[in-house]
A and B are shown apart, each in its own frame.
Chain A
């Protein structure tokens, strides 16, 4: 009888995870060819692999989002997070940049699509790329992940509790946010949705509506919904963090990307 494998050995044997990675800040061509900043994290080596675009949440291109970007590299993907506020606040602290972008009316949907498209193009240009690219976003980025997948040719999209994919924003919103119902027929790839049942934006009813629309459209999708979790349950530095939902969510994301970005 052989000795059981060490935890490290099991990790190496179980998938494409790498313990060595590098991360840095670069410039890429975003919407309309504009130069914007981006944070990248990549496993060491040139093995063929997929790529992930991480869309930061409304509070910005912050430490938490960069940690998520590095986690995708640790999972074996080339990962990139474009700084969506670079135009409004180049070089500013993430919270100051978010405040400046907010005061200027937020990020137009067309610009977001162009910036994510530029990030996807950067991923595909890497010698390690298998030409498959996924996108993921949290909170406002959840909606933007779906938006990107409706306007770009992608291979997998993850929506973590994005509000206003369905539903109607209240009147008087200074930031011109619309739902994405009329764009869902253009969804280009499978969608993984992760939602808290105690969330009100999106509410469970709005998640039901999105589920039904995608089913009626014949769009492949996989939703997981968590009791005892509300909005932002992945945020490890906020009171909304729910460890059970977040851990299960990461397992779902890992499996979903293995299926759709592997090979």
Chain B
């Protein structure tokens, strides 16, 4: 099914996108739905975007549910491994 569910968040950072160019990331969209490319019926999809630069300013990731959970764990581990004052 199309889940229709969409979670949006603001972000501050950069991503390497179309034409191997870096761009400023301002927004993130997260949803569990049909992928465009991944070989799975549904995936956890993340769009890192800057809407002010148009729809093409986007880095898209499609992960299986298990991989998405592993990524969450890895992100948390990486953040926790750094000195706390650096990750405020």
Contact = CB atoms under 8 A, between A and B. Distances in A.
A139 B34 contact: yes
Interface in A140-163: 140, 161, 163
Contacts of B41: 230-232, 238-240
Given A57-B34, A99-B60, A174-B6, 15 more contacts: A59-B36, A96-B56, A102-B31, A103-B6, A103-B27, A106-B6, A140-B2, A163-B2, A170-B5, A174-B5, A174-B7, A175-B6, A202-B1, A230-B41, A239-B40
Interface in B63-81: none
A151 B34 CA distance: 28
A99 B29 CA distance: 8
Nearest to B28: A103
A38 interface: no
A161 B4 CA distance: 15
Contacts of A230: 41
B5 A173 contact: yes
A201 interface: yes
A70 B44 CA distance: 31
A99 B39 CA distance: 19
Interface in B1-56: 1-2, 4-8, 27, 29, 31, 33-34, 36, 39-41, 47, 49, 51, 54-56
A100 B39 contact: no
Contact of A201 (B1, B49, B56): B1
Given A99-B47, A103-B29, A240-B41, A175 B4 contact: yes
B24 to A, nearest CB: 16
B36 A103 contact: no
B2 A139 contact: yes
Given A103-B49, A232-B34, A163 B55 contact: no
A103 B47 contact: yes
A146 to B, nearest CB: 15
B55 A59 contact: no
Nearest to B6: A174
A58 B55 contact: no
Interface string A88-124: 1100110111111011001000000000000000000
A200 interface: yes
B51 A199 contact: no
A57 B2 contact: yes
B54 A102 contact: no
A177 B4 CA distance: 8
B52 to A, nearest CB: 12
Contact of A59 (B5, B34, B51): B34
A185 interface: no
Closest 6 CB pairs of A and B: A201-B1, A92-B55, A89-B55, A100-B55, A96-B55, A175-B4
Contacts of B47: 99, 103
Given A95-B60, A99-B49, A99-B60, A163 B34 contact: no
A220 interface: no
B85 to A, nearest CB: 34
Interface in A221-263: 230-232, 238-240
27 contacts: A58-B33, A62-B36, A89-B55, A92-B55, A93-B56, A96-B58, A99-B58, A100-B49, A100-B55, A102-B6, A102-B29, A103-B29, A103-B51, A139-B1, A139-B2, A140-B2, A140-B4, A161-B1, A172-B5, A173-B4, A174-B6, A174-B8, A175-B4, A177-B4, A199-B1, A200-B1, A201-B1
